[in-house]
Amino acid sequence: MLHKRTFLLVLTALLLATPFVFAGGDGEEAEGDDVITLTALGYVDLTNEITTTNWEELLAGWEEAQPNIKIEWEYLFGEPYHNKLQSMAVAGQLPDLVFLWPGKRTGDVTGSGLVKDISSYVSPVADQFAPAAIAPQGANGEFYELPEQVTATHVMFTNNRLLDELGLDFPETLAELLAQGDVIRDAGYIPIAMDNKDGWQMQSCFLSALVARTGGREWLDAARVGDASFTDDEFVDALTVIKTLFDADMFSPGINQADYGEALNAFAAEEAVYLIDGGWRTNELIKLMAEDAHEYVSYEVFPALPNEGGLPGATALVAGTGYGMNANLTGAKADAAWEWIYFFAGPEGSAIKATQGWLPAVKMDLPDTISPMLVQLSEFVNNVPAGYVIDAVMDGEGMGVLHPAIQEMMFGSITPVEAAARYEEWVAANDSSR
């Protein structure tokens, strides 16, 4: 009779669990008249203590500012975020607020008509923002998100204490940089910390700036539509710089096996003289490095190449990410959604984020209390000439061709010319801009 008892037990458990199973989905019907509830898909790394704490402060500020708008958050980060966003879009089930990129990264979703064009909300406040942030995101001048910041994808973070220790100065040219290699390595340091296991880092944080140097925005504009080719010298020369540095052992050893973050750790531990990464690392460097290091880490651009026919001394800039809203929202709900979008990127949210090491897109005086590193980043973004970030203007799928090609080029199985030809072949056949 043991079986009967087990069976009864299971049956009872099943019955008890039934309401549990169906729980969720809708709900939230019973609420006050003047409270608006929005659902949102947020881009926060919950396991990163630094960003999580920052985010909680931001939300506290929001709740104080808008007690009558309740937002139900779901958080994802990295690739999982994009998978989820895409699945939701395909099913036509976007939440009210979504986190978006200005360029191609979320282009499928913004191009689907599921995200509202918020230009009518943006234009009245446009003059509060840095001009680089207020660049139209759709083909017909649409805005899908309000950028929280302007992002420099290429910064050559430099540890000047180590440079002094080694008796070196920041190099003016590529040749001078290469000449420093032996000194730095002999002292047991890594010349340029970088990690490229995922492949995007080399393209976004380095190649984009190099192409800005060799060709500038004009060349990439031409190459994008087919008036120039990725087999041109502009592109091949840029690739060759990477190959030269790799062959001269200038990068972190095993650069193509290292997860994103290993290089940051090495630089923060003062094991590397230079770090090539995006400006967004400022926030983490401030937290990871000792107070006095904030004074001797400087923000540089990569030294001059022999042939800078485009924008000499350039970095690469892209308008930042921000929140956008579901196209189905109208009336009070849409206004409420805009309140969050503007809070997040506008003066209020930016004031909170600036104290945490984020450089806002909104024009504002930076508080005196902020780290000198953030001041440097601000000057860097405002003063350094900048070209495009390649993956913001070219199709994401093509990066699946370009990134491995760059890695193979470093391994020596193909030449820079072959790598360029491989990418051009893909772009000519598939890229949506051609």
Residues between 63 and 82 that touch other proteins (CB under 8 A): 74-75, 77-80, 82
Q: How far is the CB of 408 from other proteins (least distance, A)?
A: 4
3-state secondary structure the chain: CHHHHHHHHHHHHHHHHHHHHHCCCCCCCCCCCCCEEEEEEEECCCCCHHHHHHHHHHHHHHHHHCCCEEEEEEEECCHHHHHHHHHHHHCCCCCCEEEECCCCCCHHHHCCCCECCCHHHHHHHHHHECHHHCCCCCCCCCCCCCCCCEEECCEEEEEHHHHHHCCCCCCCEHHHHHHHHHHHHHCCCEEEECCCCCCHHHHHHHHHHHHHHHCHHHHHHHHHHCCCCCCCHHHHHHHHHHHHHHHCCCECCCHHHCCCCHHHHHHHCCCEEEEEECHHHHHHHHHHCCCCHHHHEEEECCCECCCCCCCCCCEEEEECCEEEEECCCCHHHHHHHHHHHHHHHCHHHHHHHHCCCCCCCECCCCCCCCCHHHHHHHHHHHHCCEECCHHHHCCHHHHHHHHHHHHHHHHCCCCHHHHHHHHHHHHHHHCCCC
When asked if residue 404 is in the footprint of other proteins (CB under 8 A), the reply is yes
Cβ proximity to other proteins: between 89 and 210 the closer is 89
Q: How far is the CB of 110 from other proteins (least distance, A)?
A: 11
Residue among 12, 68, 87, 307 that touches other proteins (CB under 8 A): 87
Q: How far is the CB of 78 from other proteins (least distance, A)?
A: 5
Considering only residues 150-189, where is the footprint of other proteins by CB under 8 A?
Answer: 185, 188
Q: How far is the CB of 362 from other proteins (least distance, A)?
A: 25
Q: How far is the CB of 129 from other proteins (least distance, A)?
A: 27
Residue among 16, 24, 140, 291 that touches other proteins (CB under 8 A): 24
Q: Cα dihedral sign for 182, 183, 186, 192?
A: negative
Considering only residues 27-46, where is the footprint of other proteins by CB under 8 A?
Answer: 41, 45-46
Residue among 1, 5, 16, 20 that touches other proteins (CB under 8 A): 20
d(CA 405, CA 411): 10
Task: Evaluate whether 239 touches 409 at the Cβ level (below 8 Å).
Answer: yes
Residue among 70, 84, 161, 333 that touches other proteins (CB under 8 A): 84
Specify the residue for token string 């669990």: 17
Considering only residues 344-383, where is the footprint of other proteins by CB under 8 A?
Answer: none
Residue among 28, 35, 60, 93 that touches other proteins (CB under 8 A): 93
Cβ proximity to other proteins: between 258 and 334 the closer is 258
Q: What is the total count of residues that contact other proteins (CB under 8 A)?
A: 72
Site pattern 269..288 for other proteins (x: CB under 8 A):
---------------x----
Tokens of 167: 């008796």
Considering only residues 377-396, where is the footprint of other proteins by CB under 8 A?
Answer: 396
Q: How far is the CB of 217 from other proteins (least distance, A)?
A: 26
Q: How far is the CB of 80 from other proteins (least distance, A)?
A: 7
Stretch that binds other proteins, among 9-17, 125-133, 173-181, 358-366 (CB under 8 A): 9-17
Site pattern 195..214 for other proteins (x: CB under 8 A):
-xxxx---------------
Stretch that binds other proteins, among 84-92, 239-247, 289-297, 325-333 (CB under 8 A): 84-92
When asked if residue 138 is in the footprint of other proteins (CB under 8 A), the reply is no
Considering only residues 302-321, where is the footprint of other proteins by CB under 8 A?
Answer: none
Residues 6+ apart with CB under 8 A from 33: none
Q: How far is the CB of 295 from other proteins (least distance, A)?
A: 23
Cβ proximity to other proteins: between 25 and 124 the closer is 25
Considering only residues 223-262, where is the footprint of other proteins by CB under 8 A?
Answer: 249, 252-262
